[in-house]
A = this chain, B = another copy of it.
Amino acid sequence: MKTSFLRDQIVLKKSFLCLGLDSDLDKIPKHLLNESDPIFTFNKILLDSLNKLIVAVKINTAFYEAYGHKGWKTLERTIKYINKNYPDLFTIADAKRGDIGNTSDKYAKAFFSNMDFDSVTVSPYMGNDSVEPFLAYNNKHTILLALTSNKGSNDFQISSNQENNLFKKVLKISKQWKNSNNLMYVVGATKASFLKDIRSIVPNSFLLIPGIGAQGGDLKETFKNGANKDIGLLVNSSRSIIYAGDGEDFIKCSYNEAHRLQQEMQILLND
């Protein structure tokens, strides 16, 4: 998907909401456990109900790998269902991959060629040649970890000397890589105060913002500091939407939560 299409969808739907499918057998409504593929059914119900409120879907691969090859099949069914029924949604494999070149080639094949995701999250630790195999795909996007939303981001991403912050180095150096126009970045909403700095380095890139909801980030603050002329933001919410309810009518609760977030976004977009 081209980013210009994604931007148009944001304007059309008045939403920059990304739905995170961190779907977990221990947490989905109990009545779905009788289905032959409970997690696929859960995902399908969420997508069928929420697709007009969202512009992107993020599938967290760990939650599928935890069920082995059957989980991987559920992952494949889910992305196939989205690509067939909701081609207007920007799809993200939240896989945080990255390895030496000939290995990253294989990961890129898995997510871009085989499953046809629009994007995949990648760790920058191994540098240039670990990321370029992903960047080589046309109209596919590599969402590089810059500043993450978790406590551990203080260990390496942020240093006491602000100018030496690793996440800034990641932004600056990655801009020089081949096909860097295919880059987007992960920036945690729990670090909204850094967003102005980040925007000064990557004014035009889309940012994927996790951490709204269960992790405590603030939407208004994020928008104020992070939006650019094309909006340039995807704000992800996973647990606070998909586990909003746990009864047979869970989807009403999920809809209400997604709708509440979309309405907040509409106000911000109108301002």
Contact = CB atoms under 8 A, between A and B. Distances in A.
A43 interface: no
Interface string A87-118: 00000001011111111101101100011000
B96 A123 contact: yes
Given A150-B130, A151-B127, A68 B72 contact: yes
Contacts of A97: 62, 96
A157 B127 contact: yes
A149 interface: yes
Interface string A74-94: 011000000000000000001
Nearest to A97: B96
Interface string A102-143: 111011011000110000000111111111000000000000
Contacts of A22: 102-103
Interface of A: 22, 24, 60, 62-63, 65-66, 68-70, 72-73, 75-76, 94, 96-104, 106-107, 109-110, 114-115, 123-131, 145, 148-157, 164, 166, 169-170, 173, 215
13 contacts: A22-B103, A60-B106, A62-B104, A65-B107, A66-B106, A125-B125, A125-B157, A127-B152, A127-B153, A127-B154, A127-B155, A131-B152, A156-B173
Which 6 A-B pairs rank lowest in CB-CB distance, beginning with the nearest? A127-B152, A127-B155, A62-B106, A128-B152, A69-B72, A69-B73
